[in-house]
Structure 1
């Protein structure tokens, strides 16, 4: 008797999508209201150099993009900043430095940047997953400069904001979901922005692969055996 032949899995061609990073598209909640207030209050900042700290996907880059648009700021990844590039990076008088971390920065470049920004009165907005007080920095003067930078922390979202984020990520992908579906996801996945974004992306891909609408049943199939998701 011939063996059973499994049908090949249908491949899903997921088209790239772009999340809107405008001020109007930023979802506000208790976890990020101080960070949003900082962006909205520019240029009346308590210090010319400020830092937004928070977990992955918390909205740091979104707020940085809003501020960059408003301030005419250039944007540079912390790992890409070199000492020679500092004057050009600050040439507009405003700069975003993304993903600051001790293992990726050129310490002399960062020290030069902070000194030049202070000398010329330039505004700098940095983003990082942790406050610089936790950094192991070899250059003593840089260490003291970083510790003096005011830090605005962004925490994980509360329930209301978390559900709103799920809706936003679905809308960004043109996925239609109802309130029951959103509640189902919100009570079963880790309450983090990164988890919400990844779950919605997986649902979108699975929906396309199976040519099925995004439903609670599809979500249940996707999440059934995933130990990263929390139970009822």
Structure 2
């Protein structure tokens, strides 16, 4: 049954039960209890309390047990109470539950309102938990991205330092060769067997060295720009 159908059945059932003990019918029975075939003698509240059967209300077993109460549980409880009231009325007469019935109805209505509110809050809690879980996943993804960018930056820096070291060693080697070449030229110029070294040879060596220096400078500048860009990207990811 849907909630609306259950609610209509529940309200109709309570109205019927309450109608069975209307004021007119109750006064007639109390004024002359012998008119009712269900009443064999007068019952005081004390007598009724002593002879009323004890019963326990339980939710249907076909519904899974939960730590909370739902609107359907309230309807099931109301149906169980209604059956017990019918049993008591059939056995002891309607006046035996005349004071109890309105109180039970009021409690059931309050319980229904509470269950409705609880289900609404439960849906809100589920939505909030889903949002929190999504935010935690996003936070974890950002953390993993940060670690990955950091590893990439470290690898690039290691590669850059290695290349710079190799280029520095190459520059030192060229400078040493250039120095040796100049010394050799000076020695040749001062020797008696002076044989001048062609100027085109020295000019060619200087041009090659200059070109190599320019190329090394361009490589170093590109590496610096790449590292600066990666650092800016890493800082931006940390601020997100």
TM-score, normalisation: structure 2? 0.22
Which structure carries more strand by proportion? Answer: 1
TM-score, normalisation: structure 1? 0.22
Q: Which has the higher contact order (CA 8 A, sep 6+)?
A: 1
Which structure carries more helix by proportion? Answer: 2
